[in-house]
Amino acid sequence: MPLDVPTRDFAAVAATVAPEANRLIAQYPQGQARSALLPILHAFQDVEGWVSPEALAQCAAWIDVPLSVVESTASFYTLFHRKPVGRYMLQPCRNLSCAINGAGPVMKRFREKLGIGHLQTTEDGMFSYEEAECLAACDRAPCMQVNLEFVYDLTVEKVDALVDAMRAGTFDIAPLPQTTAPGHDWHVSQEASKKSPGAQGVSNPNNTGGFGDATGTRMIERLARDPYPVDVRPTSERLVGEGKTRLSAPPSTSEH
């Protein structure tokens, strides 16, 4: 059953964020208010739990830049949620050190316990789940972040304990605010009409190569079939165009 979410009032949200936004903008010289863009977006997310279209527009107005500038910045950083998410954002690491130390069974247990998969939110709006790339805590692998706070030395047994504590309200990391009920899929697609050559003909070009992904292997196979990207190519630049000839020629015996 979905959690109770209060009726959203963006005017009240903006009024709450405005003092912090003014303080941030005042830190920079006149004409450089755009330097406060990132912390203002974080301030909105701290109040609403996500960065809404209204928040992007308000930020653009406060720092006097086109909305496209704010939108492109927010879309670049993965720490900004551009759709409503659960009260607990669970991000177990799936990269090499964690995978070697048992991240696979841990992530499997998360999916079983929550009943959702990667980039999804539980029906009740409590949990959003993302299998993240390296979190830079390899000495405590497997690790994860919960609402961007680190949790270390994960085990399958710890998965059940921490999820149960969150549901009971006894977990020591505070839940995110939630002013809008999240949907099942909180991911905002970054699809473009044309992929770069390296992302064509592979099974999942948007997967950056974490646990269980075969894209890296398929890229090697592609290079074996088509070595063009790594060959010296015809060019007007002498160093590149004549590089192979120069490297294979015998040493000159002439004296200078």
What pLDDT digit, counting tens, does each position of 177-219 carry?
Answer: 988 888 888 766 654 445 555 555 555 555 544 445 555 666 5
- Predicted confidence at residue 244, as pLDDT, reads 47
Site of tokens 């405005």: 18
Looking at residue 234, its pLDDT comes to 47
Q: What is the pLDDT of residue 232?
A: 44
User: Model pTM?
Assistant: 0.68
Phi-psi region of 93 (alpha: psi -120 to 50; beta: other; left: phi over 0): beta
Per-residue model confidence (pLDDT) at position 120: 93
Amino acid at 112: E
User: Which residue carries 């969150």 as its tokens?
Assistant: 166
Q: Which of 58, 57, 147, 132 is nearest to 95 (CA)?
A: 132
- Which residues of the chain carry a pLDDT beneath 50? 1, 191-193, 208-211, 230-244, 246-247, 256
Question: What are the Cα distances from residue 53, in Å, to 46, 84, 231, 244?
Answer: 15, 11, 46, 54
- The superfamily in CATH containing domain 88-168 is Glutaredoxin (3.40.30.10)
Closest CA to 188 of 88, 74, 91: 74
Q: How far apart are the first and last CA of the chain?
A: 85
Predicted pLDDT at 226: 65
3-class SS string, the chain: CCCCCCCCCHHHHHHHHHHHHHHHHHCCCCCCHHHHHHHHHHHHHHHHCCCCHHHHHHHHHHHCCCHHHHHHHHHHCCCCCCCCCCCEEEEEECCHHHHHCCHHHHHHHHHHHHCCCCCEECCCCCEEECCECCCCCHHHCCCEEECCEEECCCCHHHHHHHHHHHHHCCCCCCCCCCCCCCCCECCCCCCCCCCCHHHCCCCCCCCCCCCCCCHHHHHHHHHHHCCHHHCCCCCCCHHHHCHHHHHHCCCCCCCC
User: What span, in angstroms and rounded, lies between the C-alpha atoms of 96 and 103?
Assistant: 9
Cα separation, 195 vs 207, in Å, equals 13
**What is 10-76's CATH topology?**
Arc Repressor Mutant, subunit A (1.10.10)
| Domain range summary for the chain, segments of one domain joined by + | 10-76, 88-168, 197-226
Given this model, what pLDDT does residue 56 score?
A: 95
**Cα separation, 150 vs 91, whole angstroms:** 9
pLDDT at 77: 87
> CA 246, CA 244: separation in Å to the nearest integer?
5
Q: Which of 70, 4, 90, 18 is nearest to 47 (CA)?
A: 18
* pLDDT score recorded for residue 157: 94
pLDDT at 185: 81
